[in-house]
């Protein structure tokens, strides 16, 4: 009995104890512990099947010392000081699990000495998902680490995808048709911060043989680089967009952030800040960790109580170990700071710059509007504040930007470069020349050619018409108004716009028909003219276009006369508009240009 208890304590040092919730016998608990000579021993099969304690080092073999794990890096499970290694719950199943692990089945090969040996090689895939979570106790208590496993992504564009990558060095002596070759695997395992958990990122290494030969021959202090990790930014930039999109993370120094996390920072319309995204990710990681921890502790409690067993067999573990002595769950992985998330967002936006440029340079239109402002640059803060003074942009009829130029001051050379770029873009795209170009100034001509007409001469010869933007013409009347804080300033601008602009008839009929179909029983008795009173102001603003009426001099003068005289209505005793005779001629000239 003393010998049996001594062997029992040796076997039950780990939390992964073989437990039968029905009938627990000595034969089931120690299948081959005692030999025929009644001497204490432990069988090799029991050692192989026993899960590894989290406090012990996982060897570089899969249960058999004679099987070589080809490609497995030592730093993955034994990282150097101050270097983050592989996530500890992923080491065991990556090495030993056949269907889910990173290795194929063992194969026989001949060594350099002519001996036969066994080895395992990497599978020809990049995504590795862990085994399913244990959901019940069947014969043995699962290892604590098996509850906290996460996926592993092995980035191998050349080894798996067979991508042909050219050397990123500008002075590479490689002849045409030469590509990078494989040169082992990266010795560091990165931990990528995802939405709910942290997963592991591995990579292969690539080298350029020609740059390596050149480096061996040169004696320069700045030696030429000839070996890269496959996820280096210089290599990712050379990949096709479809292949580059398969890489799931953004690298920020020693940290890595999943792209699904970084895209949350792009939602600026809802005012999503870096701190808010950090709180959202922290909540997701806390929920995932709590679910795995609770499942582990629930199964551990069931194994200790064994409620479906007989009274003499209940809670066998409590007779061997004191209550509460078990392997505690691992600590939760810390998250990167909001500053790291901001840096990842900026890196992703920089990677998208070619796409943004191609998207902008592919936009054309038939109706263009050129406008300039100083207000946007006043909102810039930091070192660049005050370096630029003016922004000029060109939009089409759909509100899409064709180009934007930021300069220190307005100059003819700047606008000439802008015009040449737009004309050449339309020519390369085989797009027709625009029909109308609306501008904020420099559009009027007095018996000659305006400055914008000479700037876009190639389009003017094809029928381009340059007109003054009606919005700018209306805002020019701010110089006529005595003060904008006048009580009737809003009414004056509304009446002035009504004298110049009219609603599009076709759009108005479509809106009236839509309003009538909203309640046909109520609106069927009204005519189209009567239905106008049922149209809401926001509907007119959103669905009906406004067009210029032409040179309505009589209507214009009536509006000006009405607001230029002093009215004793008790609202305000100050005249809104100055003398109409001093400014009317100048403003009407702009109206003729616009219409």
Mean pLDDT within 205-233? 85
Could you tell me if 487 and 463 lie in one domain?
Answer: no
Final residue of a structural domain among 266, 288, 309: 266
Q: Please report whether residue 403 resides in a domain.
A: yes
Q: Is the pLDDT of residue 595 over 70?
A: no
| Per-position DSSP letters for 292-321, written without gaps between them | HHHHHHHHHHHHHH-TTS-TTTTTGGGGTS
Q: Dump pLDDT digits (tens) for 404-454.
A: 888 777 777 888 888 888 999 999 888 999 999 888 777 766 666 778 888
Q: Is the pLDDT of residue 192 over 60?
A: yes
Q: Is the pLDDT of residue 62 over 80?
A: no
Q: What's the distance, CA 167 to chain centroid?
A: 28
Q: Please report whether residue 304 resides in a domain.
A: no
Q: Please report whether residue 433 resides in a domain.
A: yes
Look at the chain and report how many structural domains it folds into.
3
Give residue 512's pLDDT band: very low, low, confident or very high (50, 70, 90): very high
Q: Please report whether residue 336 resides in a domain.
A: no
> For strand 198-207 and strand 107-110, is the pairing parallel, antiparallel, or unpaired?
unpaired
In the chain, pLDDT over 70 holds for what percent of residues? 71
Q: Dump pLDDT digits (tens) for 372-399.
A: 777 767 766 666 676 777 788 888 888 8
Say which DSSP state 281 is in. Answer: H
Q: Please report whether residue 27 resides in a domain.
A: no
Residue 365's domain comprises 357-468
- Which long-range contacts link 102-110 to residues 24+ away (Cβ below 8 Å)? 102/128, 102/152, 102/154, 103/62, 103/69, 106/62, 106/67
Final residue of a structural domain among 223, 239, 266: 266
Phi and psi at 84, nearest 5°, equal: -80, 120
Report the C-alpha gap between 564 and 567 in whole angstroms.
Answer: 9
Q: Please report whether residue 172 resides in a domain.
A: yes
Q: Please report whether residue 534 resides in a domain.
A: yes
Q: Is the pLDDT of residue 66 over 90?
A: no
Counting Cα atoms < 13 Å in the Cβ hemisphere of 132 gives 3
Could you tell me if 113 and 216 lie in one domain?
Answer: yes
Could you tell me if 400 and 488 lie in one domain?
Answer: no
With residues binned 3-state (H G I as helix, E B as strand, rest as coil), the percentages for the chain, rounded to 5, are 40, 15, 45
Mean pLDDT within 577-590? 54
Could you tell me if 94 and 217 lie in one domain?
Answer: yes
pTM for this prediction: 0.62
Could you tell me if 414 and 557 lie in one domain?
Answer: no
Q: Is the pLDDT of residue 100 over 90?
A: yes
Q: Please report whether residue 251 resides in a domain.
A: yes
Could you tell me if 86 and 232 lie in one domain?
Answer: yes
Could you tell me if 169 and 248 lie in one domain?
Answer: yes
Could you tell me if 463 and 510 lie in one domain?
Answer: no
Could you tell me if 109 and 180 lie in one domain?
Answer: yes
Could you tell me if 461 and 558 lie in one domain?
Answer: no
Give residue 26's pLDDT band: very low, low, confident or very high (50, 70, 90): very low
Give residue 14's pLDDT band: very low, low, confident or very high (50, 70, 90): very low
Mean pLDDT within 313-339? 70
> Residue 536, SS3?
coil
Could you tell me if 210 and 258 lie in one domain?
Answer: yes
* Residue 373, beta-bridge partner list: 391
Could you tell me if 386 and 503 lie in one domain?
Answer: no
Final residue of a structural domain among 266, 295, 328: 266
> Residue 426, SS3?
helix
Which residues touch 459 (CB under 8 Å, ≥6 apart)? 423, 433, 434, 437
């Amino acid at each position: 009995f003393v010998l049996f208890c001594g062997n029992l304590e040796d076997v039950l040092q780990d939390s992964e104890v073989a437990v039968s919730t029905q009938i627990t016998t000595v034969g089931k608990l120690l299948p081959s512990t005692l030999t025929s000579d009644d001497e204490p021993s432990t069988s090799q099969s029991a050692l192989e099947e026993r899960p590894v304690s989290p406090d012990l080092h996982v060897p570089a073999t899969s249960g058999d010392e004679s099987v070589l794990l080809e490609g497995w890096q030592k730093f993955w499970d034994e990282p150097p000081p101050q270097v983050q290694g592989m996530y500890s719950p992923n080491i065991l199943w990556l090495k030993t699990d056949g269907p889910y692990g990173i290795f194929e089945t063992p194969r026989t090969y001949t060594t350099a000495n002519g001996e036969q040996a066994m080895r395992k090689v990497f599978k020809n895939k990049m995504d590795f998902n862990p085994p399913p979570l244990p959901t019940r106790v069947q014969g043995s208590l699962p290892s604590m680490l098996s509850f906290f496993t996460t996926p592993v992504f092995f980035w191998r564009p050349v080894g798996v995808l067979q991508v042909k990558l050219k050397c990123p060095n500008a002075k590479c002596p490689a002849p045409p048709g030469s590509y990078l070759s494989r040169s082992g695997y990266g010795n560091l395992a990165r931990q990528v911060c995802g939405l709910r958990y942290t997963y592991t990122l591995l990579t292969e290494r690539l080298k350029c043989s020609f740059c390596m030969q050149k480096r061996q021959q040169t004696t320069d202090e700045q030696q030429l680089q000839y070996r890269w990790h496959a996820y280096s930014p210089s290599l990712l930039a050379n990949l096709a967009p479809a292949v580059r999109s398969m890489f799931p993370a953004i690298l920020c120094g020693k940290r890595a952030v999943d792209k699904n996390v970084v895209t949350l920072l792009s939602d600026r319309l809802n005012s999503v800040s870096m701190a808010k995204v950090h709180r959202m990710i922290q909540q997701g990681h806390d929920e995932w960790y709590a679910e795995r921890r609770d499942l582990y502790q629930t199964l551990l409690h069931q194994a200790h109580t064994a409620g479906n067993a007989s009274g003499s067999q209940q809670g066998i573990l409590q007779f061997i170990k004191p209550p509460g002595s078990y392997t505690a769950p691992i600590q939760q992985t810390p998250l990167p700071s909001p500053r790291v998330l901001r840096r990842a967002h900026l890196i992703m936006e920089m990677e998208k710059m070619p796409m943004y440029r191609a998207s902008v340079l592919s936009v054309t239109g038939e109706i263009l509007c050129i406008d300039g402002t100083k207000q946007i640059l006043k909102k810039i803060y930091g070192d660049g504040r005050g370096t630029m003074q003016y922004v000029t942009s060109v939009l089409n009829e759909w509100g899409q930007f064709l180009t934007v130029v930021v300069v220190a001051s307005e100059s003819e050379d700047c606008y000439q470069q802008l015009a040449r770029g737009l004309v050449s873009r339309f020519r390369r795209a085989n797009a027709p020349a625009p029909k109308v170009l609306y501008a904020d100034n420099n559009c009027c001509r007095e018996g000659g050619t305006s400055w914008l007409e000479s700037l876009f001469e190639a389009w003017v010869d094809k029928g381009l018409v340059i007109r003054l933007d009606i919005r700018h013409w209306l805002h020019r009347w701010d110089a006529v108004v005595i003060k904008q804080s006048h009580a009737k300033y809003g009414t004056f601008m509304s009446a002035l716009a009504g004298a110049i602009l009219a609603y599009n008839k076709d759009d108005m009929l479509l809106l009236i028909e839509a309003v009538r179909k909203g309640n046909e029983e109520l609106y069927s008795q009204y005519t189209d003219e009567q239905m106008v009173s049922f149209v809401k102001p926001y509907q007119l603003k959103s669905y009906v276009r406004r067009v210029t009426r032409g040179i309505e001099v009589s209507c214009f003068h009536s509006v000006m006369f009405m607001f230029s005289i002093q009215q004793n209505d008790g609202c305000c005793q100050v005249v809104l508009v100055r003398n109409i005779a001093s400014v009317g001629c100048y403003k009407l000239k702009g109206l003729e240009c616009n219409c």
